[in-house]
Amino acid sequence: MMNRREFIQYSAAAAVSISRASAMVMENIPQTKKIFPLYRGFNLLEKFSPWGLPQKFREEDFQIMADWGFNFARIPMSYWNWAPKNDWFSIRQEVLEDIDQVIDFGRQYGIHVNLNLHRIPGYCINDREQEPVDLFDDTPENMQKALDGAIFHWKMFARRYKTIPNSELSFDLINEPPSTADGTRHIEVVRALVEAIRQEDPDRLIVADGKDVGRKPILGIADLGVVQSTRGYDPISVSHYEAGWMMPDAFETTALPSWPMKADNGTIWDKDLLRQRLIAPWQLLIDHGVAVHVGEWGCYNRTPHDVALAWMRDLLELWKEAGWGHALWNLRGDFGVLNSRRKDVKYENFRGHKLDRKMLELIREF
């Protein structure tokens, strides 16, 4: 756990970061809490991956979410669905019509749609090296080239959807930007994208994922009036147990997960540590009216079900205390409440799907 000395050091560092990152008076930060309700829901992945046959969004997903009382659908998308990676400016209009449809589904069922570029020109948290240039770590010329491509895509969406009210649609700029030494480039990119969107649609509701893969607030953009999005995946040894795509050094331990959990270095992960690691760093923004939302969270299907539910309950209780909404990754699939393929769950048949009723009711509780 964080001791008093570490807490003081962290607080001092945070204060310095604020003064360096933006010359602003905290009291003048726009109050995003007023424009971002308590949104709770799921990530829908039809445009998440570019491989395979093009995936259409399902109206059934919106019917189900609405029936369960949820009001938010985050749509992580790869631009490869509508533009080739070596020609960012050639757009497949028929794919954009699929995105039009998902916004219409949201309108029909009273569910807010949050469009996110999971892969943006020049960057993706997965297979980053497949981009022709890097948005965050390349020559100045290449980084500007990537930024120009990213601006083009967000301006395209801003023009296309400028008549859609904020109650129905928001933009989430970049999924999980990389860890950087000081965040300067991250701030530069976010500011450029926000400015570009507002040139086309001055009042569009915008979300920015936190720095360091969404884990930390971006204090240097607090004056922009954007919502900030965080993650709910710590500790990785619980949320991603036996997930083969994770790097080995990401895990606190490779032992069978428990909750609370003891890491290999002796750290005890429990609700108190989650509060210190996942909630406390955002407090300065929260206190000044900046809305925070958990854009992704969840537990891979290899973690024992009882452990997953215990860990999820602690997170949900903390987010309720903080007033944060959340979007599970995903609705259908290995992290979801439908068709998750867990070996230790007695599923309920639900509209042709296998429903994890215990997980669903836990999430609905909060």
Paired strand residues for 293: 229, 325
Strand segments (E) across 49-162: 72-78, 112-120, 123-124
Contacts of residue 176, defined as CB under 8 A and 6 or more positions apart, other chains included, come to 125, 209, 213, 214, 231
Looking at residue 17, its pLDDT comes to 44
What is the distance between the terminal CA atoms of the chain, rounded to a whole angstrom? 26
Rounded Cα gap, residues 301 and 339, in angstroms: 10
- How far is 302 from 286, CA to CA, in rounded Å? 34
Instruction: Please give the model's pTM, rounded to 2 decimal places.
Output: 0.92
- Domains of the chain: residue spans and CATH: 32-334 (3.20.20.80)
Report pLDDT for 122.
Answer: 98
pLDDT at 49: 87
**Tell me, what's the pLDDT at 15?**
40
Token pair listed for 149: 């491509």
Specify the pLDDT at position 9: 42
Residue type, 37: P
Task: Please give the pLDDT value at position 26.
Answer: 56
What are the per-10-residue average pLDDT scores of the chain (366 residues)? 38 42 57 92 94 87 98 98 96 96 98 98 96 97 98 98 98 95 92 98 98 93 96 98 95 97 98 98 93 98 98 98 97 98 98 98 97
